[in-house]
Each structure stands twice: as C-alpha cells, then as structure tokens.
Amino acid sequence: MTETRALVLIPARMAATRLPGKPLLDIGGLPMIVHVLRRAEAARIGRVIVATDAPEIAQAVKKSGGEAVMTRADHPSGSDRIFEALQTIDGAGQINTIINVQGDLPTIAPDDIRAVLAPLDDPSVDIATLAAVIRKDEEHTNPNVVKVVGSPVNATRLRALYFTRATAPHGEGPRYHHIGLYAYRRSALARFVALPPSPLETREKLEQLRALEAGMRIDVTVVDTVPLGVDTPHDLETARQMLAGRPS
C-alpha cells in the first residue's frame, strides 16, 4: 500500500456516555487523541487524519502537529463519520484503502495497525479487522468482550463467520477477542454505510454484522495482544500507568 493510496482516519467525538470528553483527557501530558494519532503515524502506512465534530478536538490535534477534518455531529457511527471525511479529503477517489482506528485506543501498537492490511492482499476480502486469542478465563463469558467466530485461513488469519457477545464457538479450542480496528476497500466502505441496520446487528449491537448479513467478506488478522480501550475512569487510570514515562 502506498501512502497516496491508503488513508488512516481516526473518528473522535466529545459525547461519550461513560466518559464525556474522553478524546481530550490527559494521559502523560497529552490528550488521548494525540496518543492515538502518534501511534497511527508510527505505523507508516499513509496519511493520518482525525475526523471530528468538535472544534476543540481539531484544535488539540493541530496544536500537536496533526491533521483534522470537521464532520457533521449527527453521524450514528464512526464508520459514517470517516466516510464523510473521506469524501471531503478525497472527492476524486484516489484513495482506495481506508483504515479506521478508534480514538480511544491510546496503547494500540503501530505494528498491529499495519497488520490489519494483510487480508486485503486477497481480492475477495472486502473488510479486514483484528483479533487476539482470549487468555483470561473471565473474558470467555463476558458480554462486553466481542468474540469473532471464524474459519482459519492460515496461522494468523481467519475468515469471519460471525461476531457475538455470547460465549462462542462451543467446544474445545481457542476463542478470539475482536479488536475494533478496520481496513476497508473504498468500495466496501461506501456500500457498508449505505446499508440499513441489519437484524443481527440490531440484536447483538455489533455494527460489523451488517456487512456479513449483506454478504460482504471480513477477514481477521490474529495479533498477540488486545489494546486497552478507554471507556471508564478506571480504564483512563490504567492507560496513564501504562504510558507513564513512555514517549508517545
């Protein structure tokens, strides 16, 4: 993937229910969104831009030397937000691969961001994402841990068959903790955001099921660890401890 053909977009908004204003919360002297920006830049796979509806987020990003683009405030999901940003940035359609990095993953490894691209080398894959083997017993039954059920393609890749909050699949063998980072072909992102919410998506409250129900193919790169997602004050303190003294 060349830099002119791939784009990393980080959707960010202030209105988080459990941790309002979290993109700007301080971690080691920098707003959380800047930590995510730095890691995406370190992946070196293309231009990195924060897509936001909040002027204060855009200002913080630009103050740190990053790029930001303003989007509407009424988007129902990050996918819709990044699609608007893509159209603003590249209306001519030169970019063919879009990587969606959540703005609340300040510990995401740059290598893992790069790893999400590998399945797109297969032309039959529409969307790529990440997962890691579940190693904590309590995660097998935790509905907040989304599991991907997939058929192995090789040692580090699955073809996704389903995503669920339930304990699945049944029986002996590994289960996989889904990591909500995606790489889309441009055509796949355009198709996805045009689809209405699907029945299983609505039931499980998992947006990626909309793509599977529409017959789109999602493949999964298996990585070693799950990055910390910051959703609560406890998560924030954990992130501060993890990143204390580390350059961003």
The 10s digit of each residue's pLDDT in 137-194 is: 999 999 999 999 999 999 999 999 999 999 999 999 999 999 999 999 999 999 999 9
DSSP string, 148-194: EEEEEEETTEEEEEEEESS--S-SSS--EEEEEEEEEEHHHHHHHHH
- The structure's pTM equals 0.93
- CB contact at 8 A, 104 and 27: no
- CB contact at 8 A, 139 and 177: yes
Helix (H, G, I), strand (E, B) or coil at 230: coil
pLDDT for the residue 17? 72
The 10s digit of each residue's pLDDT in 21-47 is: 999 999 999 999 999 999 999 999 999
Mean pLDDT (whole number) for 219-235: 94
Cis status, amide bond into 169, omega within 30 of 0: yes
Burial zone of 176 (CB within 10 Å; 0-12 exposed, 13-18 middle, 19+ buried): buried
pLDDT for the residue 4? 43
pLDDT for the residue 2? 37
> Across the strands, what pairs with 218?
127
DSSP string, 1-67: --TTTEEEEEEE-S--SSSTTGGG-EETTEEHHHHHHHHHHHH-SSEEEEEES-HHHHHHHHHTT-E
| Domain boundaries defined on the chain | 6-228+238-245
CATH placement of domain 6-228+238-245: 3.90.550.10
User: How many beta carbons lie within 10 A of that of residue 34, not counting itself?
Assistant: 22
Is the model's pLDDT at 3 over the cut of 80? no
Lowest-pLDDT choice from 44-48, 74-78, 83-87, 115-119: 74-78
- CB contact at 8 A, 69 and 50: yes
